[in-house]
Structure 1
Amino acid sequence: MSKQTYSVCCCFKRRFKLKEAEVPSEIKDLFRNYSSKNGSMNLEQFHNFLKEVQGEDKLTREEAETVMKSFLNEHKHLKSLNLGEFFMYLTSQINSPLPYPPQVHQDMNAPFSHYFIYTGHNSYLTGNQISSDCSEVAIVEALRRGVRVIELDMWPNSTKDNVDIRHGGAVTSPVELIKCLRAIKDNAFVASEYPVILTLEDHLTPDLQAKVAEMVSKVFGDTLVSSTPEHLVEFPSPESMKRRIIISTKPPKEYRETKSSKEEEDGTIQVNQPSEEAAWGKEIPDFFENLEDKENIHYRQNLAPEYKHLIAIRAEKMKGGIKRWLKVDTKHVHRVSLNEEKLEQAVITHGTDIVRFNQRNLMRIYPKGSRIDSSNYNPLIGWMHGAQMVAFNMQGVGRPLWLMQGLFRANGGCGYVKKPDFLLKCGPNNQVFDPKMNLPVKKTLKVKIFMGEGWNLDFRRTHFDFYSPPDFYVKIAIAGVSADLRRYKTKVIEDNWLPVWNEEFEFPLTLPELALLRIEVHEFDMPDKDDFAGQTCLPVSELKSGIRAIPLYDYKGDKYKSVKLLVRFQFI
């Protein structure tokens, strides 16, 4: 067990000795049911508790002993627990609501199209989309959080002899491409061994494309995937691409060179920004499409073949209307991109076509251009239609980002989560899943919130009310398909750093495979806006039954050291 966990457990132990009455009555009753009359729980009784209450029915007696010793690190000779030690176990990180320790447990040998992939948008930005700095630091942070898809916008630098990463049409300060590449190399596989995909927006001349190819090859070396067939019949699997870097962009087109008077004067090219409608699906804009002076155009073919050979996953422009680009080609696969608004429009009339398309191909969804504050959108719309790359502004904050973080806590946090079978397979008469269909309830999740603690350790005492202890309450909800949406709120526990609620809620679920359990704690403040006191989001598909300690996270998604809730999960 880690040093941090050990110190937290010690705090629980000391506090428990001082305030034994704080243990919820139901926990006391459970302890009595699984302990001897002398007030101790031996190894056999503890093993029975783990099997019958915690749902660990496959746990052996030897494994139960290992669990007991792991949280009684300083007392390995003990073969029994008193109430305080039992409570210490319940509130330890070992007693996680998700598989612990985190590990990859899903099949990783299917094609990329069979997975939701942790995807970033404008990964180099440190703040808003207009005026924040571009920095490799933001890329490092995303990779260390488990993000597997990094987006880079490549532009000529001010002297036109090198490449910068920046947000076009904004006043964001640039960062050199080479810094970003080196940061990716050093941090790509810290959080996960599974492949990192680089989606590139290319605003470069062929000479600079050749320079990029040289830089990318030199920095990534053998980890770079190259020399792939021009048209893939099927995508590779995450397992086969472990610790590899994959480039995904549109192949470079013919370079249309214009010798205009403006270009001859100062060597610059003036480009009109396309409208959002015209830019739909153009992740890499046609750089010379809107030149003010189109005289004297001539062509030079494929001046940067090295750059073209770097592209392992082809992104393609969506041509000819929605029906045409959603047509599934059995001979090759590719990737398309569209913004959140276009997805919302498309699913109204072509929802099942999108699901079918995403069984073989990749779809990247990105935020609409008006989200200049780096906010995000509802990711469930993309996920329920099988979109693999729901791209988010990881430098943002807020509830949509918490959903993203919640989904990718699944499968050991490796950044690849297998899509449910109903999104991958066709039914009778070649039918695919329709997100609009009415389905029966598959299972019901019952959640009982016992208590919370740790705010007095992680927060300044003046963070909430200056003159009295805080008044905490819990918001709990399901995010998923529309039929499964539910939200509740506990009563407010006044003036208590260690609130006990003992309230239970039920969530009937038609598609638990796509459901995320959202939990937030707030401090009630009558005259002002309630204060934020922690949040988490958990994939229902991986929730473990029984009484569990749920760590809470701050507004950005960083875990508090001590703040947690004690909750019971039951599936009926």
Structure 2
Amino acid sequence: MIERCLYTFPLSVCLLVPLAYFLSFIVAVKLDHSKFEFPFLSRSSTDSPESCIYSQIINFASFVLFITIYIRYRQLSQLIRNNPTCGKKYSQTNFLFFFCGITTAFSMSIISNFPHANVFPVRLFATYITFTASVGALYCEMLLSSWIRPLLYSRRTLPIIRTILTIICTLGLVACKNKLQLDHNKFHLRSLNDVSKSSNGAERSKSARSENARDNCRCLLLLISYTNKINFFFCSYPLILCIELQCSISQQERVAQFLIEIFGEKIFLDPLTIDTNILSNEYQSLPSPNDLQGKIIIKGKKLPILVLNEINKEYGEITDDDDCYEDNRRRSKKDINSKRHRQLSRAFSDLVDLLRSAPFEDFDTSFNEQQSGQVCTFSENAGLRLANSDAEQFVNYNKRFLSRISPGTWRVDSSNLNPQDFWNVGCQMVAMNYQTAGKFMDVYFGRFLSNGGCGYVLKPTYLRYDNAAAAAAASSSIVSGRLSTNLYSSNTPQILHIKVISALHLPKPEQAELKANSVDPYVVVQIFGVPRDCDEVRTKTVYHNWESPQFNEAFEFEIAFPELALVRFVVLDDESLDYDFIGQYTLPFDCIQPGYRHVHLYTIGGDIIANAYLFVHIVVNSKSLAVKPRRSLSRYRRSLLRRKLRVAAFRPVNHRQIDDLFKSMIQPLETAFEYRHAVEQSLCELNEMCGLPDISNVKQCVRKIASRLQKANLVGAVTIRNQSGVPIFEYSTTLPELSRQSVVALEEVTNRCRALIDNGSVIHKKLSNVQTEVCEMSKDIPKLLESNGLRGKKFTKAIDNFSYNLALLNGQTDLLNKAKQDANITIRQILEAAETTHLLIQSEQS
């Protein structure tokens, strides 16, 4: 009787395992812990209470599986003993089946007891063991079925079914493994840090050290192979591998061999020739990322030139100094004087060409001795100290060299630093702990949205050298022994108006263990950028409404450096007991589109939340150049005159030809300022005539004028013609006074925009010609000043004034270009608004 019921044990296992997965998934979806999408089963049992249900069922299933495997093992053992035709391979295969089955049952119990996401490595390891051991047990069972079939039954149905199941399980194991690898490659990097170290502790034996080194080499080989497989799948920009090798020469040669065999022609092996004499006027910059597409750049230590010239020598010695600036500062004088040395393989050194590791001492030493291909690493604390105390020098340093920031060693919890603090001073590479999600990782990913998330974003003009002339001017100031203190920026301050209207379909906080019955959402708007731009505001809390909460609150931010600013929208739960995060979205200021917009929300891990978004209204305006006369007209004129003089406040260089060039630009720059001011003033007057706030754009003004005409039954009294892209106004003299003044103000805006566009092109041509002449002279600026007899402090001051004048000229040229673009946009908006309001009656082609 009992033997007839033994089939219920394997049947129970086959039913309990799917039941555990699907039951926990149903509970997770009902509680909003998971989304109904594939692959849903892998994430459905990581939160309570479904994790408890999952654990109990899987634990019971693993116990039943153990009994099933044991009974099957004893049945086959007895059958093998009773049949003398069964050889030794039957017993061995049966024992292997028993071992794989018991391993599968034990691994299943580990999975059930570690369901939570914070112990994911344990669960992942147990999952691999479970699937691998179960496939092995199926293979053994398939062989035993085919061998023992003649002894029990004549049909081949059961062995064939077991063979098909074994093949399906094998393919499923391979597919799951590949899917898991692709999921872990969700975020693509353009800079990868790679450290291979062998243990050299005195307490460990030589064999232990060798085994540890071999393990690290295997890990490095797997990492290199996988990097080569997926590197340029998302973008073709170069990948930087930061490799530090602290192992034997033979192992270093093996690593070099791995890199050459796997990467092949992808490795950048065209060494950059840099004149080590920093006093030379020629400066050779690094290649652009566009010139290095599809290449892998290896950054690391490199042997000195004297060692490389020795052809027969396969290795050399380098100083074993730590490249991190903070660590160098903490070293004692005794350690600094007694430098340690270690051996470096020539084969690996030959792969390090474009970027080489170098220690940082101070800015003066770097400007005089550092080459453009040398990269210095700063710890988090050292970088913050330099950014706060020597920001100007740090900015000029990053204009010329590459810098890398590493998280502080005190971050034992793998928390993240704020990368914005280092982007503000122009640092190119900021290392982050990708395994820890949070606010600063959102800022990190948001920064690269403007370029498709490829890992490369062009810095603002005031944080980089746009041409060789600017670099030459900086090189001249370096020669004088000090840096120019000018950080003139060509950016235009912006006013950001955000009105948070409502939200739709907000989920409950996904990682909250103690969930409330409802969600009480509120929205936080954060501004990241330079310290003066950083701000954070929040809306009111809407209680017990997460489907369509209404906020209707407006905020205004003044952004002094819009190119560096990021805007982050965060939705939080005011009544959550342990975890209040609902969703967020972070984007650069330059990517913001004005108007009514839907802001889609993302989880803390970067996954989009289906159908959940904010509804906002955004207006972006330039900070007006116009100063409204508040007290007296004379005071307004004096303020305007002072600002007009500042736009062309060139400093004397004490060289007649150079001073004359800059003086010739005073009148064009002042004229350009007058045109820009006239446009801004006319826009303010138009808003005032239309009764609209200062933040309104010209489209709203046109719609306001059309609305007044419609209410007064004067629709045909004002017409606008499109003559070669220029609005031509025709209106009746019998218009009401307020409407007539509004139309006149709109016509004045058009006239001043056209004047700015036409005359601005002529002024821009003059500025470009002078810029070209100044750039040519900047190459020989030290000789020109020395020929005038300038020495010492006078020479230094003249160099600084030349750098200031050049930056001022470049900045005013950029402002003029931006004003021309805005004027063209204003004219186009007038024509578009006139067409939508039926004021545009005819379009004539040029």
Q: Which residue, 590, 594, 609 being the options, matches 1:560?
A: 609
1:326 touches 1:354 (CA, 8 Å); kept in 2? no
- The residue aligned with 2:542 is 493
* C-alpha displacement of 1:546: 1.6
| Unaligned ranges ≥5, structure 1 | 1-125, 167-173, 257-270, 292-296
Task: Give CA-to-partner distance per residue, 1:39-86, whole Å, 9 cap, x none.
Answer: xxxxxxxxxxxxxxxxxxxxxxxxxxxxxxxxxxxxxxxxxxxxxxxx
CA RMSD, aligned part only?
A: 4.3
1:161 touches 1:208 (CA, 8 Å); kept in 2? no
SS of 2:376 mapped into structure 1: strand
Q: Which residue, 183, 188, 197 being the options, matches 1:155?
A: 197
Quick check: 1:452 aligned with 2:499?
Answer: no
Task: Give CA-to-partner distance per residue, 1:271-317, whole Å, 9 cap, x none.
Answer: 999999545699xxx9xx898xxxxx9x97x6x22211111333333
SS of 2:553 mapped into structure 1: strand
Matches of 1:406 and 1:165, distance apart in 2:
37
SS of 2:390 mapped into structure 1: helix
Matches of 1:242 and 1:208, distance apart in 2:
30
SS of 1:484 mapped into structure 2: coil
- The verdict on how the C-alpha distance between 1:281 and 1:215 changes in structure 2, with shifts beyond 3 A counting, is farther
Matches of 2:455 and 2:503, distance apart in 1:
29
| Aligned pairs for 1:94-493 within 5 A | 144-156=186-198, 158=208, 160=210, 176-229=219-272, 231=274, 233-252=284-303, 277-279=326-328, 304-318=345-359, 320-327=361-368, 332-425=372-465, 442-456=493-507, 465-467=515-517, 469-493=518-542
1:140 touches 1:184 (CA, 8 Å); kept in 2? no
Structure richer in helix, relative to its length: 2
* C-alpha displacement of 1:562: 2.9
- The verdict on how the C-alpha distance between 1:484 and 1:411 changes in structure 2, with shifts beyond 3 A counting, is same
Q: Which residue, 539, 554, 563 being the options, matches 1:513?
A: 563
2:510 touches 2:582 (CA, 8 Å); kept in 1? no
Matches of 2:604 and 2:406, distance apart in 1:
22
Matches of 2:585 and 2:347, distance apart in 1:
45
Q: Which of the pair has the greater relative contact order for Cα pairs under 8 Å at 6+ separation? A: 1
- The verdict on how the C-alpha distance between 1:477 and 1:460 changes in structure 2, with shifts beyond 3 A counting, is closer
* C-alpha displacement of 1:524: 1.1
Task: Give CA-to-partner distance per residue, 1:167-188, whole Å, 9 cap, x none.
Answer: xxxxxxx961111001111121
1:127 touches 1:396 (CA, 8 Å); kept in 2? no
1:422 touches 1:433 (CA, 8 Å); kept in 2? no
* C-alpha displacement of 1:360: 2.4
Q: Rg larger in 1 or in 2?
A: 2
SS of 1:569 mapped into structure 2: strand
Runs of 4+ in 1 over 6 A off after TM superposition: 131-134, 136-142, 271-276, 431-441, 458-464
* C-alpha displacement of 1:336: 0.8
Matches of 2:347 and 2:415, distance apart in 1:
37
Matches of 1:276 and 1:211, distance apart in 2:
30
Q: Which moved more, 1:424-433 or 1:496-505?
A: 424-433
Task: Give CA-to-partner distance per residue, 1:217-274, whole Å, 9 cap, x none.
Answer: 11111212124236483222111211221111121579x9xxxxxxxxxxxxxx9999
* C-alpha displacement of 1:204: 2.0
* C-alpha displacement of 1:369: 0.3
- The verdict on how the C-alpha distance between 1:218 and 1:442 changes in structure 2, with shifts beyond 3 A counting, is same
- The residue aligned with 2:592 is 543
Amino acid at match of 1:185: N
* C-alpha displacement of 1:559: 2.5
- The verdict on how the C-alpha distance between 1:413 and 1:199 changes in structure 2, with shifts beyond 3 A counting, is same
2:462 touches 2:490 (CA, 8 Å); kept in 1? no
2:325 touches 2:360 (CA, 8 Å); kept in 1? no
Matches of 1:138 and 1:276, distance apart in 2:
38
SS of 2:532 mapped into structure 1: helix
Matches of 1:517 and 1:547, distance apart in 2:
16
Task: Give CA-to-partner distance per residue, 1:513-559, whole Å, 9 cap, x none.
Answer: 10010111111117x35611011211001211122222222223232
- The verdict on how the C-alpha distance between 1:231 and 1:210 changes in structure 2, with shifts beyond 3 A counting, is farther
2:377 touches 2:406 (CA, 8 Å); kept in 1? yes
Amino acid at match of 1:472: P
Structure richer in strand, relative to its length: 1
Amino acid at match of 2:537: Y
* C-alpha displacement of 1:386: 0.7
* C-alpha displacement of 1:410: 1.5
* C-alpha displacement of 1:560: 2.2
- The verdict on how the C-alpha distance between 1:237 and 1:429 changes in structure 2, with shifts beyond 3 A counting, is closer
* C-alpha displacement of 1:139: 9.8
Task: Give CA-to-partner distance per residue, 1:13-44, whole Å, 9 cap, x none.
Answer: xxxxxxxxxxxxxxxxxxxxxxxxxxxxxxxx
TM superposition score normalised by structure 2:
0.43
Task: Give CA-to-partner distance per residue, 1:102-157, whole Å, 9 cap, x none.
Answer: xxxxxxxxxxxxxxxxxxxxxxxx999xx9999x9999778642321010111238
Matches of 1:253 and 1:243, distance apart in 2:
28
1:441 touches 1:508 (CA, 8 Å); kept in 2? no
- The verdict on how the C-alpha distance between 1:141 and 1:349 changes in structure 2, with shifts beyond 3 A counting, is farther
Amino acid at match of 2:241: L
2:415 touches 2:433 (CA, 8 Å); kept in 1? yes
1:127 touches 1:133 (CA, 8 Å); kept in 2? no
- The verdict on how the C-alpha distance between 1:251 and 1:491 changes in structure 2, with shifts beyond 3 A counting, is same
- The verdict on how the C-alpha distance between 1:149 and 1:276 changes in structure 2, with shifts beyond 3 A counting, is closer
* C-alpha displacement of 1:351: 1.8
Amino acid at match of 2:525: I
SS of 1:410 mapped into structure 2: helix
- The verdict on how the C-alpha distance between 1:253 and 1:324 changes in structure 2, with shifts beyond 3 A counting, is same
- The residue aligned with 1:101 is none
1:139 touches 1:180 (CA, 8 Å); kept in 2? no
1:333 touches 1:360 (CA, 8 Å); kept in 2? no
Matches of 2:615 and 2:192, distance apart in 1:
36
Task: Give CA-to-partner distance per residue, 1:383-404, whole Å, 9 cap, x none.
Answer: 1111100111111122111111
1:452 touches 1:566 (CA, 8 Å); kept in 2? yes
